[in-house]
Amino acid sequence: MSLSLYQTQVNSRLLLGTAQYPSPKVLQDAISKSGTDIITVSVRRESSSDQAGQHFWSLLKDTNTHILPNTAGCRSAKEAITTAQMTRELFATPWIKLEVIGNDDNLQPNVFELVDAARELSRQGFQVFPYTTDDIIVAEQLLNAGCEVLMPWGSPIGSGRGLQNPFALETMRAYFPDTPLIIDAGLGLPSHAAQAMELGYDAVLLNTAVAKSGKPIEMATAFSQAVQAGRIAYQSNPIEARDMAKPSTPVAGTPFWLD
């Protein structure tokens, strides 16, 4: 089940966000139950004058996971680049989940600013995890800009709609067979995560589906199991869908009677 991301090996294919949890204790327990090796955090959580940010950072370090800082809330390449530079100093990691939002209603990435930011950050030595659409042309531009991982959305952030365009995602998987692909955003149910993994995606990243559920710890467990099940199913070469029925019991040798 191990996965290599920028030459770093991780054992879990579930990445977990850290926002919106009802308490720090619930967050810690959800991280533990999910089995995740990577958690995402916004640098904005660390900019508090009352030291709350420092307490949150200490909590994250205690989880013994890899930290993937993000540029959540950025609206331009310039803003995202500046935020990424802050995260490298704060979290001491070259990893950055690059978000450049272009639409306030559906939080769709601004792919033009995203590619510009990815190119510059890669030039500066960052290892970029870009939150992008399912457009393969944009994907090619991001890879040419220096990205080694792509993170297409399943559906709008926090919507819980699951995979709104499975065909496009399946096409992307086929088009980039050797690139780690991580579904980011829009998953609401463990079955959505399993579906993504069954399509051959390498991992999923989610936040709201766990943090805002009625029982975040139990939901984290469910998503962990769904990701594992989906990955195993993909590796097991599932049967193809058919238009017609096909009996599972052979008809050869079936007794028959003449009237």
Q: Catalytic one among 61, 78, 97, 246?
A: 97
Tokens for 249? 């019991």
Residue 97 annotated to the active site: yes
Residues 6+ apart with CB under 8 A from 194: 226, 227, 229, 230, 233
Active site residues: 97
